[in-house]
Structure 1
Amino acid sequence: MTLTDPAQTLAALIRCPSVTPEDGGALSTLGQMLGELGFHNDRVTFSDEATPDVDNLYARLGSDGPHLMFAGHTDVVPVGDAEAWSRDPFAADIVDGVMYGRGAVDMKGGIACFVSALARLIARRGAPRGSVSLLITGDEEGPSINGTEKLLAYAARKGERWDAAVVGEPTNPEQMGDMIKIGRRGSLSGILTVEGVQGHAAYPHLADNPLRGLVTLMDGLLDPPLDAGNDRFPPTNLEFTSIDTGNKATNVIPARTTAKFNIRFNDIWTADSLTDELRARLERAARQTRLRPGREPVRYQLDLDPRSSPSFLTRDDALIETLSAAVHEATGRTPVLSTTGGTSDARFIKDYCPVVEFGLVGQTMHMVDERVALSDLESLTGIYELFLERWFDNQSSSAGAR
């Protein structure tokens, strides 16, 4: 295998069936590649109650100077119905210049391109003047308990410090060069339970329909909008994702109903301030009687997931501008600097150093026939190589100027 060829490095990783939480040999395969480039590899397994053990890899090249981290994950989501795939999801077949396989874009492709970019840079001008580390987990697509968060803390306890980080998640919506993620919205999930009184649908005066109360509370949470966004983030968005009474009868008013929801919030809020706002809105809405004339206030309970994710915004101009310039030179496009989308492991990394995200086009991630164009692999490898060269050169120039 030639490490300078991203198609070869990606094929080797795809052929490891690393469906969360199984490693499938992916970290060993990656570790062997990195060993050939001179990295020191540290394999670490983390455990936690009621979650599967997860293998992780921390690899470092160099021992001093400016330190750049590349972060990602080798675990992938299940293939679903394997019969629905046109190709074996773990064969890395290439058809008409396109490689098929689970993880091709999310995100073994990003890892493969970074490895190949570094291999090209080393072959062309030697190892960077500083240190490069890869922080790779097998728990990003799973509960994210035994992965990046613990691996960062483990490395930090051993004295590791980083100046900047790039996460190789697929950030481009349609074509290479579209978008760099410079932050992420926070995420808060909850369950709203409304208590009523069970009864016959023909005798509603003898019952108290909790669905009427739930609709009232939902309206109070949704209207007015939580905010209008700002120049850094889109508006905060609350989506109800499930309503359940457990009631199979059509002529019975249920005794209880629950609704699940998720909020993606911008930096106008923290999890605490958003929680306060939700509770205030619910208290006001519970006293509304339009749908429940003559009734007492709605009886409800709000349970919020304690594992919320904060919003964050990276403000390291040198990191962002260096990556943006590399993208523009390689693709001719000026990437949008965005905070859209879901959460990623960047939410953990931002506590240790400035972090941005840039990877492949994400249109087929998690889909049947997940795939990547070989031309996109080549493009991303070229972008990473330019970025690596210029980031380290800039860091050296800044140090010299001081």
Structure 2
Amino acid sequence: MRTTKIDRVKRDYERVVTLTQQLVRIPSVYRPDEPGGNEEKAANFVADHLRNIDGIEVHVEEVAPGRPNVIGVVDSGKPGKTLLFEGHTDVVTEGDPASWKHDPFGADIIDGKMYGRGTNDTKGNLSCMITAVQSILEDRESFTGKIILCIPVDEESLMLGIKHFIERGWADDVDGAIICEPEENQVCVAQRGALRIKITVKGKMAHGAISWSGINPNWRMAKIITALEKLEKSEQEIHGEHPYLKWPSITPTILRSPVSGDAQINVIPEKCMTTLDIRTVPNQDHQDLIRKIEDIFAELKREDADFQVEYDVIEDRPATETAQDDPVVKAVYDAAGEVLDKQPAYNGVPGATDGTFLHVHGVPIVTTGAGDRDIPHQINEYVEIEELGTTTQLYRSAALKFLNQDGNGNES
């Protein structure tokens, strides 16, 4: 007997809540100095879970020691498009556990909320995408093409997992990707780029009371930071406010002087270092921005013969934007309207996701999922358990709509 919609929704809800609890209770913070401080246990659990679902071919690929990607492939046996769901297994540090009201890895459910590191970002959404595909298979829903479940490591750092996934060719034939992150089930079609730069100014160490015998790098770094603030305002005037991503920004984060060794109040340091967390909008060119920063250095050098600076680009992730009429966006938008029973909201992702590198590879991406957008990485992280059920149905519906679209993006 075919499962009714009410029975299916109840079944999927119970499954996604249980799976989220199981995953949150497996710590997967990357701690390179601690035995087992990686994603391995969580990834192995996911792989075993997928192997117990009929119709999913499971692959486990080690990205680095103790850090495996998990890939699940569902092949309909019919020619068609390939849809990718992406959700990572790593989570950020919980910080001081004593600061939490609830065990950060307890997954306690209180007043309709599940608490714990990863409930929101993004083990809850990882559970939603797995449960949605299990639901499609169990109910023998008709669809064409393939579904790939991409479950990588290291999203919270250098994104080694998704890079490895792409290098191994898994993304080559993907026609659209749903990035499963906490976005309050909004349809996010854009995300800010990230350009991380380390700047080091060289000076000459000397006694603070005999300043003329040294070269103080701090004065020079102050001029750089002041000039970067002006550059930020200029970029905002040029590019304006993006409808979903707001303003481009240049943010000095770490400021260290001396760079190494002990700081002392009566010593001019040898070096001063800062890091920049630059967030860009889709119409900004990163190389052009780097050239403008180099121009700042060149001008300061012309003014000051003792000015010496070095910089390194630590990470370069472009901003992304997918057209609202792209088939994967249309499928998610239509599914959200159907499941939420209201017109969905378009939005953007304030930070970068694994979807950045899929976008660079030529895969259209859209980001959506359960969870308050402001909760990731906070103490007392949580997700509304009712929203987990809703998101599972959204993913389920979006997959069927995308895979069963005709060439014009309409359901066949």
- The interval holding the TM-score normalised by the smaller chain is 0.7 to 0.9
- Residues 115-164 of structure 1: CA deviation (Å, up to 9, x unaligned): 2223333444525322111011122124322x11111221449xx51110
Deviation at 1:315, TM superposition (A): 2.5
The one-letter amino acid paired with 2:321 is L
Q: Among the aligned pairs, what percent are the same residue?
A: 24
Match of 1:305 in 2: 313
CA distance in 2 between counterparts of 1:86 and 1:46 reads: 35
2:388 equivalent to 1:377: yes
Could you say if the C-alpha distance between residues 92 and 269 of structure 1 is closer, same or farther in structure 2, counting changes exceeding 3 Å? same
Which residue of the other structure, out of 13, 16, 20, is the alignment partner of 1:10? 20
Match of 2:179 in 1: 167
Superposition pairs for residues 142-181 of structure 1, below 5 Å? 142-145=157-160, 147-156=161-170, 161-171=173-183, 176-177=184-185, 179-181=186-188
CA distance in 2 between counterparts of 1:358 and 1:200 reads: 56
CA distance in 2 between counterparts of 1:167 and 1:325 reads: 16
Superposition pairs for residues 322-361 of structure 1, below 5 Å? 322-350=331-359, 351-361=361-371
SS at match of 1:16: coil
Deviation at 1:203, TM superposition (A): 4.4
The one-letter amino acid paired with 1:313 is E
Which residue of the other structure, out of 123, 127, 131, is the alignment partner of 1:116? 131
CA distance in 2 between counterparts of 1:223 and 1:400 reads: 50
CA distance in 2 between counterparts of 1:400 and 1:217 reads: 55
- Residues 295-328 of structure 1: CA deviation (Å, up to 9, x unaligned): x345122312253112222236222232123223
Contact 2:197–2:315 under 8 Å retained in 1: no
The one-letter amino acid paired with 2:307 is R
Match of 1:293 in 2: none
Deviation at 1:384, TM superposition (A): 1.5
The one-letter amino acid paired with 1:99 is M
CA distance in 2 between counterparts of 1:302 and 1:236 reads: 24
Deviation at 1:278, TM superposition (A): 0.8
CA distance in 2 between counterparts of 1:376 and 1:385 reads: 14
The one-letter amino acid paired with 2:162 is T
Which residue of the other structure, out of 193, 196, 199, is the alignment partner of 1:189? 196
Structure 2 unaligned spans of 5+: 1-10, 31-36
Could you say if the C-alpha distance between residues 253 and 333 of structure 1 is closer, same or farther in structure 2, counting changes exceeding 3 Å? farther
Match of 1:278 in 2: 293
CA distance in 2 between counterparts of 1:400 and 1:19 reads: 41
Structure 1 unaligned spans of 5+: 289-295
Could you say if the C-alpha distance between residues 195 and 14 of structure 1 is closer, same or farther in structure 2, counting changes exceeding 3 Å? closer
Match of 1:389 in 2: 400
Superposition pairs for residues 74-89 of structure 1, below 5 Å? 74-89=89-104
Match of 1:65 in 2: 80
The one-letter amino acid paired with 2:369 is G
Which residue of the other structure, out of 18, 29, 46, is the alignment partner of 1:19? 29
Contact 1:3–1:33 under 8 Å retained in 2: no
- Residues 42-66 of structure 1: CA deviation (Å, up to 9, x unaligned): 111123xxxx542011111114421
Contact 2:401–2:411 under 8 Å retained in 1: no
Which residue of the other structure, out of 232, 247, 255, is the alignment partner of 1:243? 255
Could you say if the C-alpha distance between residues 395 and 32 of structure 1 is closer, same or farther in structure 2, counting changes exceeding 3 Å? farther
Which residue of the other structure, out of 30, 54, 58, is the alignment partner of 2:67? 54
The one-letter amino acid paired with 1:349 is L
SS at match of 1:394: coil
Contact 2:121–2:182 under 8 Å retained in 1: yes
Q: CA RMSD in A?
A: 2.8
The one-letter amino acid paired with 1:78 is T
The normalised TM-score by structure 2 is: 0.83
SS at match of 1:307: strand
SS at match of 2:101: coil
The one-letter amino acid paired with 2:84 is M
Which residue of the other structure, out of 256, 265, 268, is the alignment partner of 2:271? 256
Match of 1:38 in 2: 55
Q: Pick which of 268-277 and 344-353 moved more.
A: 268-277
The normalised TM-score by structure 1 is: 0.85
- Residues 28-49 of structure 1: CA deviation (Å, up to 9, x unaligned): 33233333141000111123xx
Contact 1:234–1:340 under 8 Å retained in 2: no
The one-letter amino acid paired with 1:102 is R
Match of 2:8 in 1: none
The one-letter amino acid paired with 2:378 is M
The one-letter amino acid paired with 1:116 is T
Q: Pick which of 268-277 and 191-200 moved more.
A: 191-200
The one-letter amino acid paired with 1:72 is G
Could you say if the C-alpha distance between residues 192 and 26 of structure 1 is closer, same or farther in structure 2, counting changes exceeding 3 Å? closer
Contact 1:79–1:102 under 8 Å retained in 2: yes
Match of 1:210 in 2: 217
Q: Pick which of 19-28 and 93-102 moved more.
A: 19-28
CA distance in 2 between counterparts of 1:121 and 1:4 reads: 14
